[in-house]
Amino acid sequence: MRTIEQLTRPNIRGLKPYSSARDEYKGREASVFLDANENPYSPSYNRYPDPLQHRLKERLSRMKGVDPGQLFLGNGSDEAIDLLFRAFCQPAVDNVVAIDPTYGMYQVCADINDVAYRKVLLDADFQFRADDLLAAADEHTKLIFLCSPNNPTGNDLRREEIDRLLDKFDGLVVLDEAYIDFSGQPSYTGQLRQYPNLVVLQTFSKAWGSAAIRLGMAFASPEIIAVFNKIKYPYNINQLTQEQALRLLDEPEKIQNWVSVLNKERGQLMERFAALPFTERVFPSDANFFLVRVSDAGAIYNYLVGQGIIVRNRHSVSLCGNCLRITIGTSEENNILLETLKRFTMY
């Protein structure tokens, strides 16, 4: 593997990061803070939040079985994705490789940062071969993006191929686990020590039911995390978000319960979808959504919009012709969807 120093953009390697007032103060406990130009009134939101979110990281890392130094928190996983490009990819020189189809933000961030985005098509089972991704890479490839369970296909990627890629690729492998809580597979956070080139992404937006607080996690070696911390906005996680996340961590059983309810609903909804006359194929899912191929995705999508129901039309995505992506909702929402679709058959 190339070292993290070799992978890092030269300007980032040499960067002197912004030093905030609170960063500089590293002395004893203090009670009078006149260093950051805040208004002393209106507690408890008048003070800048902890730039490195120590309390939250302490709690989270214990739950996830990693060291706090292996954890970065971002304004959604999207921040971590963007930081990966800004830290490691030289615009107009470097490139990244990704499976196709997958989550759209990788390409958007690549385009914003003027980094070539090389797509490698999945096979008919929505699986990849490590050797195909490696064949698409060259000495300017800094990152390879995987997503498991994958979006929009919903399936877990094969671990043998993920392991092989981690063994063979000399840059960073980014494994997006936004939907890992719904999967029967364990997280790759357990493999961080084994693979110094692994970056695992997770989020509070899906199983944790907290898309609105914008909190994403990146797990990686302390060396990679240090690069993120060097270039992130100083106060990227606001106080309200840190507090709400700590509250959520007090009731992990609630999240576990949501996950088992949603997984059960998924099974039922997929079965009922399979019985609809226009359904051609319901693809297996390890996430809180599934992909379904229908006779005419555009017509069904438009019909549902007219009925006030929004699903995702993935017709224009590679390998997803005439496919809709259906998020698992509450039992009531799923019933409304099914009943509405049964009426479509009468058109």
Ligand X SMILES: *Cc1c(COP(=O)(O)O)cnc(C)c1O
150 burial (CB, 10 Å; 0-12 / 13-18 / 19+) is buried
The verdict on 161 binding ligand X (CB under 6 A) reads no
The verdict on 285 binding ligand X (CB under 6 A) reads no
Q: Which of 145, 192, 165, 198 is closest to 4 using CA atoms? A: 198
The verdict on 305 binding ligand X (CB under 6 A) reads no
Q: 177 with 154: CB under 8 angstroms?
A: no
Per-residue contact string for residues 216-255; x = within reach of ligand X by CB under 6 A: x---------------------------------------
The verdict on 60 binding ligand X (CB under 6 A) reads no
Residue type, 126: F
Distance CA 178, CA 331 (A): 22
The verdict on 101 binding ligand X (CB under 6 A) reads no
Total number of residues that touch ligand X (CB under 6 A): 13
Per-residue contact string for residues 113-132; x = within reach of ligand X by CB under 6 A: --------------------
Nearer to ligand X, 183 or 279 (CB): 183
CA angle 339, 261, 248 (to 5 degrees): 125
Beta sheet of 279-282, edge-to-edge order: 279-282, 289-294, 323-327, 312-313
Q: Kindly state the smallest distance separating residue 166's Cβ from ligand X, in Å.
A: 19
Q: Kindly state the smallest distance separating residue 203's Cβ from ligand X, in Å.
A: 3
- Alpha carbon dihedral 291, 295, 297, 302, in 10-degree steps, equals -130
Nearer to ligand X, 49 or 76 (CB): 76
Nearer to ligand X, 8 or 263 (CB): 263
Distance CA 130, CA 117 (A): 17
Nearer to ligand X, 156 or 176 (CB): 176
Task: Return the half-sphere exposure (C-beta side, CA atoms, 13 A cut-off) of residue 286.
Answer: 18
Piece of the chain touching ligand X by CB under 6 A; list 50-58, 125-133, 204-212, 235-243: 204-212
The verdict on 205 binding ligand X (CB under 6 A) reads yes
The verdict on 151 binding ligand X (CB under 6 A) reads yes
Q: Which residues are near ligand X by CB under 6 A?
A: 76-78, 103, 147, 151, 176, 178, 203, 205-206, 211, 216
